Amino acid sequence: MASDKKLYIKTYGCQMNVYDSERMAEAMGGQGYTQTDRPEEADMILLNTCHIREKAAEKVYSELGRMKVFKAEKPDLKIGVAGCVAQAEGEEIMRRQPMVDLVVGPQSYHRLPEMNAAVQAGKRAVDTDFPEEDKFEHLKARPKAARAPAAFLTVQEGCDKFCAFCVVPYTRGAEVSRPAERVLREARDLVERGVREITLLGQNVNAYHGGDETGDWGLARLIRELARVDGLERIRYTTSHPNDMEDDLIAAHGDCEKLMPYLHLPVQSGSDRILKRMNRSHTAESYVRLIERFRDARPDLLLSGDFIVGFPEETEEDFQATLDLVREVGYGQAYSFKYSARPGTPAAERPVVDEAEANDRLQRLQALLTEQQRAAQQAMVGREVGVLLEKPGRMAGQMVGKSDHLHAVHLTTGAAVGDLVRVRIVESMTNSLTGEVV
């Protein structure tokens, strides 16, 4: 196959999709494709989709509609849909959009080379299976090109929690953990190519139990083994679930220096009644007590969370319980969303909250979370933190990096991308900090 074919991938959604897109690009690299950020020059376009947000499928169909102009100008252009919408919609995508050449689910993208061969032969290809083989082991080995200093690494996929609002168990399947040695091997490879910070990914990453010949491995043991990798300076993980927090993982936040003082732990609601309706299997009280244990282990921990407002049957009293929890916990960052139904989930059949009321609640919650975020940033002024430099800033001599607490930090320095520098924070801006090298 010619080596000058161009591949354009548009990625929607979470960090796991970012990681998946990287691996898809590597798989197609073995087929002679190089990536481009210009869809108009592509020979293949892949939309790597997410099914979490509102009207996700319709947004994909809308995007496909915009791709028609590229197909008209280049009839040999191949178009594919990957990810969770592909898993959920399957043949329906092919029916509604005849110009789509292939549809591949998130557990099957290691089969892209074979699917591409079929497509190039004039066939259409759909693969939304949950194959037994390990897709990561079937992927072409990562090329040895240099990498950015921070990278994602998927260690766990799927979910067994079946929250009433969520499609992940249906699109990603049951919880599966990658064997520990394979994770460590990939981490070492990333470090060899310049990566200094790795974020471990999973739908419920703290449900990780990879294991090897010595027995079961939890996430804490995996983190401690990764901390022994020379050249790897920082470790993070996301997204975690309150029900899977083990004592050893909490302890790791206090005794593992390379594990950064940042935790994303979604709660979704502060109302026990709504949590039960969500099938979250934890209470507001148990969540708060869990946070206290983390902060006992790591007092400077910055906490992030997820919230859904306007969940079916949520009352103003329920919403006030969420505000109360936010005030009690105190978040440095958070993500909040208005509930939107996902077809096939239990909550989709329940009575909805008035749209205007849901919008009002979202605005009130976001105002409180923004206030807390600004306070957390302001509290950083005067403190010293580590900053991993990730890219040049807009002005000469300026660099931008991420702090230990995942804040974006701007500073003037002669250091290079990939350097880890000690910085004193001197100013808090809207969504970032300004620092000076110590």
What average pLDDT does the structure give for the chain?
91
Q: Which residue has the higher pLDDT, 420 or 49?
A: 420
Amino acid at residue number 75: P
Structure tokens at 304: 């992030």
What value does the mean pLDDT take over residues 27-53?
88
* Model pLDDT, residue 2: 45
* Model pLDDT, residue 44: 95
What end-to-end distance do the CA atoms of the chain give, in Å?
Answer: 53
Which residues sit opposite 9 in a β-bridge?
Answer: 46
- Residue 66 CA to residue 121 CA, distance in Å, equals 25
Rg, the chain, Cα only? 22
Q: What is the pLDDT of residues 121-146, one digit of tens each?
A: 999 989 887 766 665 665 655 555 66
What value does the mean pLDDT take over residues 282-294?
98
Whether residue 9 is predicted with pLDDT greater than 50 in this model: the reply is yes
Please report, in range form, the residues annotated as the binding site for [4Fe-4S] cluster.
14, 50, 84, 159, 163, 166
- Residue 30 CA to residue 311 CA, distance in Å, equals 45
Give 313-372 as a 3 state SS string. CCCHHHHHHHHHHHHHHCCCEEEEEECCCCCCCHHHHCCCCCHHHHHHHHHHHHHHHHHH
* Model pLDDT, residue 23: 85
Q: What is the pLDDT of residues 371-389, one digit of tens each?
A: 999 999 999 999 999 999 9
For the chain, list the domains and their CATH numbers: 5-127 (3.40.50.12160), 135-379 (3.80.30.20), 384-437 (2.40.50.140)
Task: Provide DSSP, 139-190.
Answer: SPPPP-----SEEEEE-EE--S---TT--HHHHT-S-EE--HHHHHHHHHHH
Closest CA to 264 of 199, 328, 178, 337: 199
Q: Which residue has the higher pLDDT, 181 or 212?
A: 181
Closest CA to 263 of 283, 241, 281, 280: 241
Whether residue 236 is predicted with pLDDT greater than 90 in this model: the reply is yes
What value does the mean pLDDT take over residues 288-294?
98
**Helix (H) / strand (E) containing 65:** helix 56-73
Please report, in range form, the residues annotated as the binding site.
14, 50, 84, 159, 163, 166
- Residue 403 CA to residue 426 CA, distance in Å, equals 13
Task: Provide DSSP, 233-297.
Answer: -EEEEE---GGG--HHHHHHHHH-TTB-SEEE---B-S-HHHHHHHT----HHHHHHHHHHHHHH
User: How many residues belong to the chain?
Assistant: 438
